[in-house]
Structure 1
Amino acid sequence: MDILNLSQREFAQRMGVAQGNLSSLEKGHQLPSCFFLWCLHATYQANVHWLFTGVGEPVVK
């Protein structure tokens, strides 16, 4: 979110998810759902393989 210069609320809104869910994920209170990962990829081109493994680039080019 810092890289994109977005607030947590704006970041979540663009993905169509609740800000509270994003907050819970960041705090480690819950794991991301498949839907959340899909939204993250679709909205921000996040590399899901990188999210799971840390291998490769964080963003799909």
Structure 2
Amino acid sequence: MEKRVKLIRKSLNLSQKKFGDRLGLKPNSISSIETGKNTLTDQNIKMICSTFQINEDWLRTGNGEMYTKHLEIDNELSIVINEIVKSNDKFVKQFLNAYWSLSKENRTVISDFIDKLKE
């Protein structure tokens, strides 16, 4: 199971710290799980599956698909959306609503601006 946890983290392009942050675990705990020093608790398994839309049967046994079948959108986007909903951050929700109400040209301007901020 530890190899599958690492595979999940790598497929999401997350460091052990970022992966752990989303689960409420420290990076050394993630490292210990991935190396087999610590075993996953049922609570951790359920948290990984719900946070990252992972098929629990696949995580426990390796059978089936990694991601849940109903997930058709980009998994990383799904994670971000889940975090926004859980946080109940009014600003982010207002921003997203305002962004989607803009014309395509104005959304492109905002997108270009955000890309420049990330540089």
Considering the TM-score relative to the shorter chain, is it more than 0.5? yes
Other-structure match for 1:30: 38
Of 67, 78, 81, the match for 1:59: 67
Aligned length: 61
TM-score by length of 2: 0.48
The structure having more radius of gyration, on CA atoms, is: 2
- Deviating above 4 A after TM superposition, structure 1's stretches of 4 or more consecutive aligned residues are none
Post-superposition offset of 1:45: 0.9
User: Deviations 1:3-27 (Å, cap 9, x if unpaired)?
Assistant: 2121110011011222221110111
Point out the structure with the larger helix share. Answer: 2
| Alignment partners' CA distance in 1, 2:66 and 2:15 | 19
Other-structure match for 1:11: 19
5+ long unaligned stretches in structure 1: none
State the percentage of identical aligned residues: 36
User: What CA RMSD, in Å, does the superposition of the two structures yield over aligned residues?
Assistant: 1.1
5+ long unaligned stretches in structure 2: 1-8, 70-119
